[in-house]
């Protein structure tokens, strides 16, 4: 029974500590990159619409690889780009158009009925979709970026870890006091 209690105690401590470290990583990474967290050279983006369903669901967190030659994409590639100053979109390349030494892409969301209204300049492409998706994790990521999310996700795991540590120390001290003659 004592071994089981020790295992449970270790697991609880590890889970609380890992959740705190994960929250710290996401918050600091988001702040350092100016928005989206990064991991191993990939940016994590939240999907806010259903335009790429069923392959990429609304609320998913996707990994995209920024950089490189943005004129390299071919029909069928999935790219992330600036639709306008504020809107970032991930859609599939339908065709590549070369005009006057410039490369343009015709893009479309998989579930959209028609292609995007304008050709996309290659200079507006920011990344290529890696194929890695975590369904529904984007909702969590968006919450973590908010002020309330930052506070809750940083403070709650820390408080829980502190309470659990105090409880563990108190329990150990009470056992020591009982054993003294």
Per the structure, the complete domain to which residue 85 belongs is given by 36-135
pLDDT at 116 over 80: yes
Catalytic residue among 49, 60, 117, 141: 49
User: What separation, in Å, do the N-terminal and C-terminal C-alpha atoms of the chain show?
Assistant: 26
Q: pLDDT for 23-33, tens place per residue?
A: 667 666 666 65
49 is catalytic: yes
- Is 20 contained in some domain? yes
CA 15, CA 104: separation in Å to the nearest integer? 48
If asked whether residues 46 and 128 sit together in one domain, one would say: yes
CA 127, CA 70: separation in Å to the nearest integer? 8
If asked whether residues 69 and 124 sit together in one domain, one would say: yes
If asked whether residues 82 and 95 sit together in one domain, one would say: yes
Model pTM score: 0.67
Q: Residue 81: which CATH number?
A: 2.10.109.10
* Mean pLDDT confidence for 129-141: 85
Q: pLDDT for 31-50, tens place per residue?
A: 665 656 666 778 888 898 98
Q: Token pair for residue 157?
A: 């795991």
């Amino acid at each position: 029974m004592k071994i089981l209690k020790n295992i449970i105690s270790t697991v609880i401590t590890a889970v609380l500590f890992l959740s705190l470290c994960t929250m710290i990583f996401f918050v600091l990474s988001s702040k350092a990159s100016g928005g989206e967290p990064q991991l191993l050279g990939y940016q994590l983006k939240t999907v806010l619409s259903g335009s790429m369903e069923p392959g990429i669901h609304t609320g998913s967190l996707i990994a995209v690889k920024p950089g490189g030659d943005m004129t390299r994409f071919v029909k069928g590639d999935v790219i992330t780009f600036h639709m306008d100053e504020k809107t970032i979109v991930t859609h599939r390349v339908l065709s590549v158009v070369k005009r006057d030494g410039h490369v343009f892409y015709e893009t479309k969301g998989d579930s959209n009925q028609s292609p995007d209204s304008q050709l996309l300049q290659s200079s507006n492409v920011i990344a290529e979709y890696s194929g890695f998706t975590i369904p529904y994790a984007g909702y969590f990521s968006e919450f973590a970026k908010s002020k309330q999310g930052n506070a809750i996700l940083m403070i709650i795991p820390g408080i829980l870890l502190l309470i659990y540590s105090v409880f563990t120390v108190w329990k150990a001290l009470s056992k020591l006091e009982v054993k003294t003659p």
